[in-house]
Structure formats: C-alpha cells, structure tokens
Amino acid sequence: MSPPVARVLSLLFLWVLLLGDSRAAILSGPESDAMLGPDRFRGVANFSTFLLDDSSGMLFMGAKDAILAVDTNNLSHAPHVIRWDVPEDRRKSCKAKGKTEVDCNNYIRLLEFLDDGRIYVCGTYAFDPQCAFLDRTSFSLERREDGEVKMETGKGKCPFEPSQHYTAVMAGGILYTAATSNFLGTMFDISRATGPEQERIRTERSINWLNDPEFVSASFIQQEATRHPLGDDDKLYFFFTEVAKEYEMYTKVKVPRVARVCKSDVGGMKTLQRRWTTFLKAQLVCEDRPSGQRYNVLTDVFTLRADPDDPATTHFYGLFTSQWEREELAAVCVFSLSDINKVMDGPFKELKKTCENWINPEPVPRPRPGQCLNSALRAEGFDSSLKLPDKVLTFTRDHPLMENSVASAPLLVRRGVTYTKLAVTLAENGRGALLHLGTDRGELHRVAVVGQNTTLLQEIPLFPADQPINNIVLHQGQALVGTPESLAQVQAKGCGLHPSCEVCARARGLGCAWQPSPGGSQDGSCGPALSEPGTGDMVEEALKKCDSREGRCTPAMRELRVSLGLRLLLPCVQVSPRPCAWDHPPQRHTRQHHSHLEVTVSEESLGTYVCTCQEAGPDLREPTSCRRAAYQLVVEGPSAGGAVATAGSRHLLAIYILCFFLGIAISAFLFYFLSRRRAIALHLPKHSLSSDKGRDLLGSSATPQSPGSASLLSDAFTLSEKRNGTAMTSLHSTQGNGGPHGNNSYSSNLISNSSNVSSNPGNGHGEHVFSNYESNACKLVADLLDGRTGETGRSGRGVRETGDEVDEGLGEGLGDSMRGLEEEMAKYTLFKSPAPLAKCEESSI
C-alpha cells in the first residue's frame, strides 16, 4: 500500500471514530438539572433500593456490596460510601451450592427507617440474607465488640436472590415484607417480619392464598381517629401478580391482585396460629371495555394521597402490561382506596373443593371473616384476633379471594414502549395529574392526565439506552431518577418544566399557560395560568397562540422524501386505549402494526397518510376522533444529497479504481511467483511428492460476519431494524402528539436512512468484484469513505486444479511455498488482519 493511501485511510478512520464519539455524547447528554454517572460512584453499581430522608434531603442507595448516601441539595458533593461485602468463605459456600460468582455478593435490597432514627439494612449476602443497623449520624454500620458488623438473620425479610420480586413497608417501627422464604425461591410469604416473636405471623402455605406470586409494591394506610370515629384498624395493602387458580385453561393465566391485612392482627388461638386472620385478596382489572383489551400483568404501583390528613383520598396508580401481547405494551390504571375496601366488604368467591366445578356457597359467619378490628367489635368482646371463633377462622382460611374485582379503565396505553417505573404528581390547580414514566431504555416520559383525556408531553432521554430506569423518588418538586449505574435529578412539578410553547399548551389542562416575551410567542416561559381552563378543547385553543400549525388533533403535514422500494414504518402515537385507523392511497403494500403503519414505497403508494385515533369525549359511550399524525410521501429526486453526495461518489469511484489496479498488480505477482515455484517443483523427484496431500491445499477460513451497523441517528427517528430479512426504517417521533419540538426533521433524517438503504442494497453481501485479499482491502476503504460498516468477510480458498499433472506437480512443495508466501505477505499492513468488524448486536428475532 502506498503512503498516500495509508494516510487517507488513517485520517478517515480517525474521523469516523471522532464522529461516533460526538454523536454518542449528544445522544447520551442528559436533559436534567444534575447528573451523577458511574465515574462519580467510585466503582459502586447495581443500585436497586432508594430511601429518602425528607427532612435532610439525603438519599440512601442500596447497591452491590455497598450503601451510599447522596446529598440531593448539592449533588456536587462526593457521595458517602459504606462497604458491606461477603467474606471469602461465604462466597465459596455459595458457589458450592451451584450459584454463580455474580450472585454470590451482597445486594442491598432493603433500606427502612426505624423509630429510633437508625436505618434497617438487609442484603442477599451470598444467598444467606442478613440484616444490619446503620447509624445516620456517623454513617456507619453498627459493630460488635470484636469489630465485626452486628448482623441478624434476614430470612423472610430480604430475598435470597438479587433479581427476585420483593417488596416491604415499615409501619410503626415494624417491618412487613412480601418475599420468598427459602433458598430455592419456591415458598412465598407476606409476613410481619420484625417485632415481638409471638406476633410474627405470615400467610398460610396454600396455593389458594399465594400461587407463584411476583410481588410489586406495598403501602401502609394509617387511619386518622378524627376522621374515622368508628376506630378502624390501620391496614396494609400488598400488590402482586400471581397465577390464577380460579381460571382453568390450557396455560397459566396471570392475574394482578391486591391483598389486605390488618396491623393489629396477631393470628388465631387454635386455627390459623401465627397466620393472618384478616388476609383477603381481590383481582385488579385494567381493561378497555370498548376494545376488550385487558392488561393482566402488574409491574409497578405508585400510592398518591391527595389530602395527607384523609386516607379516603388515596389512589393507587398501577403500571400494567399484557401476558398475551408479543409486542411491547404498557398501560396505566388508577384504583381508589374506597373501591378496594368496597370489594373487600363484598361476597367471597367459592373455590372448587370437590370434583364439581362449583359448590353451594357457605353462609358467612359472624363476625365477618377478614374484618379489621373496630369499636363495634371491641364492644362485643373481640378486642384481639386470638378471641375470634374457629368457624370464622376456618372460613377465612378457605375463602381468601373475593368474588368481585376492582375494575378501572386505562388512562394511558402505549405500544412499542416498555415502562419500568411510575411516579405521579398532582397539578397545582388540582384538576389533573402528571405521570412520570421511566422506560427500559433510560428515558423519562411525561404524560398529562385531565379527566378522561391523556396527552403525551415529553420524552426525555436521560441515560444511555442500556440503562433501564428502576427508581423514581419525588422530593420537593424534584424527581430523583435512578438506574443500576447512574442518578439524575429533574424538575417534576410546576409549569416551569415545560420548555416550549407547544408543550406548555398541551399542559393547559394542568393549569399552565405560555407567557410570551416581547420578542415573540416562541420566546417566553411557561407559568401558572391566570384563569382556569374553560370548557371545550382548551389545548387546541392554547396551541393556536404558539404560531404553530400543530394542534392536538390537527397535526402538521410532514413531507417525507423516500425512494422506491423502501419499506418504512409511519408512527402514530396512541395514548388512548381506543383504536387508531389510517387513511392512505388505495394500494395493498401497507400493513398496520397496532397504531403504526408499515408502507412499502411504490408509485401507487405515494400520497397522503393520515392517522386518526378515538379518544374519550364528553360521553364515554361516544368517543371523539382525533388526528394524531399526517404524512406526505414524495419520491426523492435524483439531485437529492447535493454536492456532498456527488463528491462522496467521486471519491468512492477513485478508491475503487485504485483498488482495481492494485488487485491487478497483486494478481500478476502471485501468478509469476506460482509459475516459478511450479517450474521448480516439476524438476523434483517424483517420489518426494504425494498426490493425496495436494488435493486440499488451502481450506476455507471464513471469519464471522457482523451485521450492518445502525443508520444515522437523530432525535426523531429510531434505528433501522430488520423484519423477515428486510431492512425497516422505523420513524418514531420523540414528540408525541406533535411533541415539544415543532421542527420538521422527518425529511432530512429519512433521506439519510433511505440513502443508506438504497446505496447499500446488499448490506455488505454484494458480489466480490476482486479476488481474495484485494477485495477486502477495497471494501475496507470503500466502507470507511461511504460511512458504512457492512458485513465483511475473508476467504482463504485457493485455486485448485483437477488434472493429475497439476496434483503431481504441486503437493507438499507447493504447500511449503504457499506458507512462505503467507509469511512474506503478512509483513504488509494490508494483509495482517481482515477488515474491522462492526460490533455484534444481539438479534431480536
């Protein structure tokens, strides 16, 4: 290789690296008030548990082999770290039981405040759960006289395995947990885990009580004596998903549940000894009745009390998905505390106990089974669960499930998105709520909920795509958003978190209004509205003041310049659970993927595409139509790309010509060298050659091929994907209903994507114009200049003659000469290694 070509290649390679780094920096740059990355935590990772001290603003974080304390009032201060790892003998014992080295660490899964100000800390401790006490004043774990950490068993308080579903809540200094209670993870308990030994009770070991549950959340509801003169007991609610025993189907049906126990329950005297006597559970139903879609897997629950002094204002926001959907799906439903208690006070479900499917219901004894203590029961002499009759306890043991379900319609439905965490803040005007949703790709989505209508406001990329959000904690108008490796602090309340006029207008129902500056409507800030929103479509009226063609139901037409034969996905953001429909040219090359539309571009498919979704209207039985997206498909002209594309093509052609002549020179050299060696070999004695060893001289040594890299990224489009072996250009807007950014960036990004598709039809699988080594050299240079990292391969297959004369003339002599040739050629940079392979990506198929 000549020095100029080497210099060109090195410069191009450096330019590609710099471009990739800068692009990654732009995409990963957080839109947050403050960010703490992995470098700030000094090697500590795997954050799974957050505990916030509201008075001081100190955030305690449970990690692998460590506990951290972060001052949320000043994130620039270095976090405090306590190491709590596992001794080597415990690790060896854990690995001897068949666990991996990664699992044999101490993952902190529980952080709870005690009444004396200390923090109760529990970790998996190499599959032998242990608990300790943390002194907040000195920020250190309490130790024994010998200097070792003062520990007590964590069985029943903390899971054995780091990834097991688990939840816990502290009530009056007593810990209540829902976790596995054995090493194998096959026994599940909801228990009172601390307190006096005689009062530590748990659920009955019966599939009627708990059947392979996945615990999600727990909440303690404390009754106020002034508002509840009947003297009702405090209650604890546990949310989980379990396998339904009441449904007999060919497969296991998962069902979301809510279970309730009473704080003063201490078990029965004879029946249900040291077992809950007040355990009741009911099914949660999150269903869109018009479409019949039901979401049956609960993934997260957020408890919100509108009035801190009134427990009746408590609502539980549940994050759901579906067991039956193959595509990513998320829904949000809200359940009120009063609705849950009403179901708990209703009829009991009779489960099958004989060969018959159903039996006659048993009469409900008095006092009512599962009822919490109140003033009336105490007046009758039942001041403790130990005094309940056996017939009441027997009925409770056999009837833990309620007949009725707690039903709710979804507030939000999103397809193609996996939500992992949920937090909710109320609007300042009290008329709506703002949902903060964390995704499995490090994004934070904000959704406004006003009445029956929801509006997607923002989709904020906070973290890299490989960091799922697993914690959201609200504190003084801020949201502390965490992943297993990072922490971000963002504004979570107030109109000031809406950065543009369009986003502020979409939050009109939350009491926000855009206050323009003298420079124009787009210059200004979002603040509280001076007047309450009126009747009608207030968002539509607010958007008209932004000098934008966008509207909540009147999206601007976006022109997409495409190439014939391109297959693309037109996005339509669906926030309502009701269906969406597309109006498009009459041709058969379309396919709807839920709310999105897949289009194969042809002459007949050019034209206008409009997506219309159904939303809740004034009457829930008569939904209204709302246009969500509009596109105009136009064929890309031959001059698209301009001078830059032309210059790039000229350089590419010059490199191909250079490689062609270089290949001719190398081929001539190889032909001359082989001819000389063959002439020498023909004069050797015949008995020195073996015809059998000359038949397979150079075996194939194909290197693994890497898939093509992703096309150019942008804020408005996701990566290209493959379906059924065909490249798919997926257009996913990060705006949502028009989104916060009013620019029309669809056209330019689609040109970039379509150019990659059209200019690289085989994605690196085209015909080999040149032979062997020069082909790889040319493809390396061409791919670098063209900005592609297509699949590359190297073949070491040699030319093999079939005649006996050639076999006799070659043999081992030629094999030795070829090995010598390879050693000589290995000295050149061009032949030292194959073309660089793109980073291998895991296929989703």
Q: What is the pLDDT of residue 688?
A: 39
Most confident of 421-425, 609-613, 807-811: 421-425
**Same domain for 669 and 621:** no
Q: What is the pLDDT of residue 690?
A: 37
Q: What is the pLDDT of residue 568?
A: 83
Q: What is the pLDDT of residue 701?
A: 34
Q: How far apart are the first and last CA of the chain?
A: 41
Which pLDDT tens digit goes with each residue over 488-501? 999 998 888 888 88
> How far is residue 176's CA from residue 168's CA, in Å, rounded to a whole number?
6
- Of the three residues 635, 650, 671, the one that is the final residue of a domain is 635
**Which amino acid is present at 219?**
S
> How far is residue 371's CA from residue 277's CA, in Å, rounded to a whole number?
9
DSSP for 691-734 reads GGGGS--S---PPPPPPPPP----SS----EEETTEEEEE---S
> How far is residue 175's CA from residue 394's CA, in Å, rounded to a whole number?
27
CB 108 within 8 A of CB 123: yes
Q: How far is CA 27 from CA 384, 438, 564, in A?
A: 60, 17, 30
DSSP for 749-761 reads HHHHHHHHHHH-T
Bridging pattern class, strands 512-517 and 520-528: antiparallel
Q: Among positive and negative, which fits the CA dihedral 761, 763, 765, 766?
A: positive
Tracing tokens 């015949």 back to the chain, one arrives at 686
Which pLDDT tens digit goes with each residue over 563-584? 888 888 888 877 777 778 888 8
Instruction: Report the pLDDT averaged over residues 294-299.
Output: 94
**Same domain for 770 and 623:** no
Which pLDDT tens digit goes with each residue over 440-469? 999 999 999 988 788 889 999 999 999 999
Which pLDDT tens digit goes with each residue over 116-136? 999 999 999 999 999 999 999
Which pLDDT tens digit goes with each residue over 663-701? 888 888 887 877 777 666 555 444 433 334 333 333 333
**Same domain for 783 and 659:** yes
As to burial, measured by CB atoms within 10 angstroms (0-12 exposed, 13-18 middle, 19+ buried), residue 410 is buried
Q: What is the pLDDT of residue 84?
A: 95
For 272-277, the CB contacts below 8 A with 24+ separation are: 272/204, 272/393, 272/396, 272/397, 274/198, 274/200, 274/201, 274/202, 275/201, 275/202, 275/203, 275/204, 275/397, 276/190, 276/201, 276/202, 276/203, 276/204, 277/370, 277/385, 277/388, 277/392, 277/393, 277/396
Q: Name the phi and psi angles at 817, rounded to 5.
A: -65, -35
Cα dihedral: 250, 251, 256, 258 (round 10): 70
Q: How far is CA 582 from CA 552, 565, 570, 598, 604, in A?
A: 17, 21, 10, 11, 16
**Same domain for 654 and 791:** yes
**Same domain for 737 and 596:** no
Taking residue 840's Cβ as centre, other Cβ atoms within 10 Å add up to 10
- Of the three residues 595, 610, 635, the one that is the final residue of a domain is 635
Confidence of residue 179 (pLDDT cuts 50, 70, 90): very high
Tell which residue, 167, 163, 156, has the closest CA to residue 189. Answer: 156
Confidence of residue 352 (pLDDT cuts 50, 70, 90): low
Q: What is the pLDDT of residue 581?
A: 82
Q: What is the pLDDT of residue 818?
A: 52
**Same domain for 770 and 732:** yes
Q: Give the CA diameter of the chain.
A: 119
- Does the pLDDT at position 659 exceed 70? yes
Which pLDDT tens digit goes with each residue over 80-129? 999 999 999 999 999 998 999 999 999 999 999 999 999 999 999 999 99
- Lowest mean pLDDT across 75-79, 126-130, 349-353, 513-517: 349-353
Residue 152 is assigned to a structural domain of this protein? no
Residue 51 is assigned to a structural domain of this protein? no
**Same domain for 573 and 720:** no
Residue 342 is assigned to a structural domain of this protein? no
Residue 46 is assigned to a structural domain of this protein? no
Q: What share of the chain is helix, strand, coil (3-state, %, to 5)?
A: 25, 30, 45
Tell which residue, 28, 53, 752, 77, has the closest CA to residue 443. Answer: 28
**Same domain for 751 and 680:** yes
Tracing tokens 């990355």 back to the chain, one arrives at 37
Residue 446 is assigned to a structural domain of this protein? no
- Of the three residues 485, 515, 546, the one that is the final residue of a domain is 546
Q: What is the pLDDT of residue 23?
A: 30
Q: What is the pLDDT of residue 197?
A: 92
**Average of per-residue pLDDT values in the chain:** 76
Cα dihedral: 772, 774, 777, 781 (round 10): -130
Residue 104 CB partners (closer than 8 Å, separation 6+): 86, 90, 91, 94, 95, 126, 127
Instruction: Report the pLDDT averaged over residues 612-637.
Output: 72
**Same domain for 653 and 567:** no
CB 798 within 8 A of CB 815: no
- Lowest mean pLDDT across 66-75, 270-279, 704-713: 704-713
DSSP for 379-405 reads HTT--SGGGS-HHHHHHHHH--BBSS-
How many domains are there within the chain? 3
Most confident of 7-21, 525-539, 634-648, 722-736: 525-539
> How far is residue 214's CA from residue 240's CA, in Å, rounded to a whole number?
5
Instruction: Report the pLDDT averaged over residues 506-530.
Output: 80
**Same domain for 811 and 665:** yes
> How far is residue 742's CA from residue 735's CA, in Å, rounded to a whole number?
8
Confidence of residue 543 (pLDDT cuts 50, 70, 90): confident
**Same domain for 689 and 620:** no
CB 123 within 8 A of CB 154: yes
> How far is residue 556's CA from residue 632's CA, in Å, rounded to a whole number?
10
Residue 655 is assigned to a structural domain of this protein? yes
Q: What is the pLDDT of residue 652?
A: 59
Residue 583 is assigned to a structural domain of this protein? yes
Bridging pattern class, strands 520-528 and 174-180: unpaired
**Which domain range does residue 586 map to?**
558-635
Written as six digits, the tokens of 687 are 């008995």
Written as six digits, the tokens of 314 are 């408590």
- Lowest mean pLDDT across 165-179, 265-279, 439-453, 767-781: 767-781
- Does the pLDDT at position 20 exceed 80? no
Which pLDDT tens digit goes with each residue over 211-259? 999 999 999 998 876 666 677 889 999 999 999 988 877 788 999 999 9
> How far is residue 392's CA from residue 268's CA, in Å, rounded to a whole number?
10
Q: What is the pLDDT of residue 433?
A: 93
Which pLDDT tens digit goes with each residue over 361-403? 678 898 999 999 888 898 898 989 999 999 999 999 999 999 9
**Same domain for 780 and 748:** yes
- Does the pLDDT at position 796 exceed 60? no
Q: What is the pLDDT of residue 10?
A: 44
Q: Pick the more confident residue, 308 or 409.
A: 409
Written as six digits, the tokens of 441 are 């790709």
**Percent above pLDDT 70 for the chain:** 69
> How far is residue 502's CA from residue 593's CA, in Å, rounded to a whole number?
28
Tracing tokens 């109109």 back to the chain, one arrives at 495
Q: What angle, 0 to 180 degrees and rounded to 10, lies between the N-to-C axes of helices 811-825 and 642-682?
A: 140
CB 600 within 8 A of CB 634: no
CATH classification of the domain holding 614: 2.60.40.10
Q: How far is CA 352 from CA 245, 284, 356, in A?
A: 9, 21, 7
Written as six digits, the tokens of 369 are 């089974």
Q: What is the pLDDT of residue 679?
A: 66
Q: What is the pLDDT of residue 225?
A: 62
- Does the pLDDT at position 11 exceed 50? no
CB 398 within 8 A of CB 277: no
Q: What is the pLDDT of residue 602?
A: 86
Bridging pattern class, strands 34-36 and 406-408: unpaired
Q: Among positive and negative, which fits the CA dihedral 27, 32, 34, 37?
A: negative
Q: What is the pLDDT of residue 317?
A: 97
Written as six digits, the tokens of 177 are 């947990």
**H or E element at residue 414:** strand 412-415
